[in-house]
Amino acid sequence: LSPLNLPRWLLKSEPHVFSYADLVRKGREMWDGVRNHQAKANLAAMAVGDTAFFYHSQTDRAIVGICRVVKAAYLDPTDASGKFLALDIEPVQALTPISLAWLKQQPALAGMSLIKQSRLSVCPITADESHRIISLTN
DNA sequence: GCCAACGTTGGC
DNA sequence: GCCAACGTTGGC
């Protein structure tokens, strides 16, 4: 993973609904169902080739992999109102899980939107935050 | 299972 | 336009 494609986003999924293993098995997936305007704005800002941490919420509460945007945001076909967006992702690599508890213990990561806004399902990650998280996995 | 955070809805 | 009621998400 080159510094040029450090993950700058984080996507949350409930693992019992759709896990990183499911993404690997399918090879590609439409990321739909986002019904929050801030998360929508983040989806709209994601470009093809951007990478994102893949986070398991609820039972796992850990970053478990990295994925990549393969199709930029388009109207979410599952949204009857026509307001929200979806995009397509593919798996890049699985990671040894990095727990939310560990992330919360790092003073440098205290400002992460994952921590400050626990309900936001599509979070931005700063370059510094991403570098610190990735360096843990080496 | 509980609760905090937060978004949405609808009465006024 | 305010705010109470309610629904959802996600951590604990």
**Helical ranges in chain A per DSSP H:** 20-26, 37-45, 100-105, 113-116, 127-136
- Does the nearest atom of strand C lie within 7 Å of A10's Cβ? no
CB less than 7 Å from strand B: which protein residues? A 35-38, 117-119
pLDDT at A20: 98
Nearest nucleotide over every DNA/RNA strand to the A38 CA, judged by C1': B7
Question: What percentage of chain A carries pLDDT values higher than 90?
Answer: 90
What is the pLDDT confidence band of residue A127, given thresholds at 50, 70 and 90?
very high
pLDDT greater than 80 at residue A114: yes
The whole-angstrom separation of Cα A91 and Cα A67 is: 4
- Does the nearest atom of strand C lie within 7 Å of A78's Cβ? no
Nearest nucleotide over every DNA/RNA strand to the A36 CA, judged by C1': B7
- Does the nearest atom of strand C lie within 7 Å of A58's Cβ? yes
CB A70 within 8 A of CB A27: no
Least Cα distance to A117 among A7, A6, A12 occurs for A12
pLDDT average, residue stretch A48-76: 97
pLDDT greater than 90 at residue A117: yes
Instruction: Provide the residue count of chain A.
Output: 138
Please give the order of strands across the beta sheet that includes A122-124: A29-31, A85-99, A62-75, A51-56, A9-13, A122-124
Count helices and strands (H / E) in chain A.
Answer: 5, 6
pLDDT at A90: 98
Q: What is the mean pLDDT of chain A?
A: 94
The spacing between the Cα labelled CA in A12 and the C1' in C11, in angstroms, equals: 14
For residue A27, give both structure tokens: 């090879």
Nucleotides in B strand less than 7 A from protein CB: 5-8
The spacing between the Cα labelled CA in A130 and the C1' in B6, in angstroms, equals: 26
Query: pLDDT digit string (tens) for A69-80?
Result: 999 999 999 998
pLDDT average, residue stretch A20-31: 97
Decide: pTM greater than 0.85: yes
- Does the nearest atom of strand C lie within 7 Å of A12's Cβ? yes
User: H/E element holding A67?
Assistant: strand A62-75
Residues in CB range of A54: below 8 A, 6 or more apart: A10, A11, A13, A20, A23, A63, A64, A65, A66, A67, A91
pLDDT greater than 90 at residue A4: no
